[in-house]
Every structure is written in C-alpha cells, then in structure tokens.
C-alpha cells in the first residue's frame, strides 16, 4: 500500500522550462518528486506543443520528451513556480530566447519560486534575476554569476528569497526539499 507524502502540493501548477540538451535527471527527478506530492507539472519550451526536447545523460543522448506548452504563448500567471533544469546546451539556448527570458523575469517580478539546478541558473543572468542574489550552480558558472552581481556559494542548495539553486544531480534530493518548502 502506497502512502501519500505528508506535505501536499495539491492545486499547485509548476512550469519546467527547458529545451534540447537538458540533463535528463535534472528534469525527471524533480518532476517525479513534485507529481508525487500532488503538483501538476507542465514542460514548456521555446518549441511548439508536441515537439520533442532531447534529454542527455551528461554527453550521451538519452530520452526525448514531448513539449506540453510553447513558452511563446505561456503566461507566468498560470503557474505557482518555475523549475530550470541544467545541462550545458539547454540553458545556453534558453538565454537566446526572448520569450523564455521574459517568462523567467515574470516569475521573479511576481515573487514566485524559481528553482534552478546545475547550469540552470545561467538564464537568470540574462533575465536580470541573478544580480544581488546568493546562489549556487555547477562550478563552471561561478565566474559568470559573480560577474552578473550574484554571490556564488559552493553549497548543496542555496535559498535566497524565492530563488532556490543547487549545483549538480547529486544535490537533487536537497533541491527538491527546498523547492517543496517554498511551495507549502
């Protein structure tokens, strides 16, 4: 007999914004966790609904995931939080999408939780969200985030206001718990 998680996210709608090159586990594990707690999760990308996003396990192509909503027509008002998975190519491409950056900016403006892991904090720079924030990321982003005015910390998870960041896949359990705390 399965038991229900003690903290319910029933009625919460979470956006996951990503595109090709996403680190698969940084999408699948938080999604699985959020759904197990009762949240509705929607995969958004700067691609049409039904198009595929190519996941990766490090440098190896992995599963493909169907886009559930095109970010170009999405509004942050329909969501309670935003998750930004990493992978190198995924956030690098999101940085070039005006609509993706506008979507991220809207969550920050509305003071809604934004959770970014690994290379996921990269688009926060271009969205103007990193400046003045304490956060963490994959170590290669340290200098970029510092140059953008963030205070970078080498910790499993860093929470600054409604911004939750983690360094790598090994940090996913702490990342998930910190996001849960922001949502309950």
Catalytic residues: 118-119
What are residue 152's phi and psi, to 5 degrees? -85, 135
State the Cα–Cα distance between residues 62 and 57, nearest whole angstrom: 6
Q: Is residue 82 within 8 Å of residue 55, measured between CB atoms?
A: no
Report the DSSP beta bridge partners of residue 14.
41, 81
Given the structure tokens 């920050």, which residue do they identify? 108
User: Smallest Cα–Cα separation from 41: which of 109, 115, 95?
Assistant: 115
State the Cα–Cα distance between residues 159 and 166, nearest whole angstrom: 9
Question: C-alpha angle with apex 58: 166 to 139, nearest 5 degrees?
Answer: 40
Q: Which tokens go with 53?
A: 């996003």
Helix axes 172-183, 24-36, angle to 10 degrees: 40
């Amino acid at each position: 007999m399965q038991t229900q998680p003690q903290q319910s996210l029933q009625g919460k709608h979470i956006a996951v914004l990503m595109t090709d090159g996403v680190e698969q586990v940084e999408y699948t594990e938080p999604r699985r966790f959020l759904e197990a707690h009762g949240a509705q999760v929607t995969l958004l990308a700067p691609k049409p609904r039904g198009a595929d996003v190519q996941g990766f396990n490090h440098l190896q192509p992995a599963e493909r995931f169907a886009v559930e909503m095109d970010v170009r027509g999405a509004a942050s008002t329909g969501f309670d939080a935003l998750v930004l998975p990493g992978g190198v190519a995924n956030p690098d491409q999101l940085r070039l999408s005006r609509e993706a950056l506008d979507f991220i900016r809207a969550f920050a403006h509305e003071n809604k939780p934004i959770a970014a892991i690994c290379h996921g904090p990269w688009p926060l720079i271009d969205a103007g969200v990193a400046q003045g924030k304490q956060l963490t990321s994959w170590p290669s982003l340290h200098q970029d985030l510092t140059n953008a005015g963030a205070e970078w910390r080498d910790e499993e998870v860093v929470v600054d206001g409604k911004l939750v960041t983690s360094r790598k896949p090994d940090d996913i359990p702490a990342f998930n718990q910190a996001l849960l705390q922001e949502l309950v």
